[in-house]
Amino acid sequence: MENSQEVGNIEGDGDGRNNSGCTSSTSTYSPYRLFGRQTSVHQLMGGGKAADVILWRQRRVSCGVIVVATVAWFLFEQAGLSFLSICSNVFLILIVLLFLQANYAVFRNKQLHPLPELVLSEEMVNNAAASFRVKINYLLLMAHDITVGKDFKLFFKVSSHQLNKDE
């Protein structure tokens, strides 16, 4: 009985496609698959809204992303603003908006959403300090090797760069 159902699902027009609307487990051809793979490109990219935007399935959002990126490029490159100054301005505006929201909630006698308590554990601070210690020790070892002369190529690059800088 199971074989007769499979035969019914395999019916098609001879090129592996299924015209009856039923999916075939033996057919591997699909026009929306990349290189005949089992999953589509959309599913490989996560299958969510981000994949829709990247694959231009939501054209208005994709065009909006391009417009925003172009405006950001214009601000950074043409207007001479630095990334740090723009980030600082955005964070300042957000803080002002949160301040106004808190005052408005007090004025209207509404309860604000509780903010989560942020606490750094001692273990996390120790792990960060240990990783910084390792990186700083490696940097000091490299600087020692340069000054002693064990790495002549790097010593020559640093000294020639310093001579060119002084001129």
Q: Please give the Cα distance from 87 to 79 (Å, whole number).
A: 15
How many domains does the chain divide into?
3
Q: SS3 for 37? A: coil
63 and 31 in a common domain: no
- The answer to whether the beta carbons of residues 53 and 61 sit under 8 Å apart is yes
Distances (CA, A) of 45 to 48, 54, 55, 109, 154: 8, 9, 9, 45, 43
Whether 127 and 98 map to the same domain: the answer is no
Domain membership flag for residue 117? no
pTM above 0.85, yes or no: no
116 or 96, greater pLDDT: 96
pLDDT of 4: 45
Are 90 and 68 contained in the same domain?
yes
Decide if 153 is inside a domain.
yes
Domain span including residue 155: 122-166
Domain for residue 133, yes or no?
Answer: yes
Q: What is the pLDDT of residue 164?
A: 66
Of 42 and 164, more confident: 42
pLDDT digits 0-9 by tens, 29-68 = 556 665 767 788 888 888 888 888 888 999 999 999 999 9
pLDDT at 24 > cutoff 60: no
Q: Are residues 126 and 157 in the same domain?
A: yes
Distance CA 19, CA 17 (A): 6
Query: Does 93 or 35 have the greater pLDDT score?
Result: 93
**Mean pLDDT, residues 116-143 taken together:** 92
Report whether pLDDT(74) > 60.
yes
Residue 39 lies in a domain: yes
Residue 9 forms part of a structural domain: yes
Q: Are residues 69 and 91 in the same domain?
A: yes
**Residues 96, 72 share a domain:** yes
Q: Domain check: are 132 and 103 in the same one?
A: no
pLDDT band at residue 151 using 50, 70 and 90 as cut-offs: confident
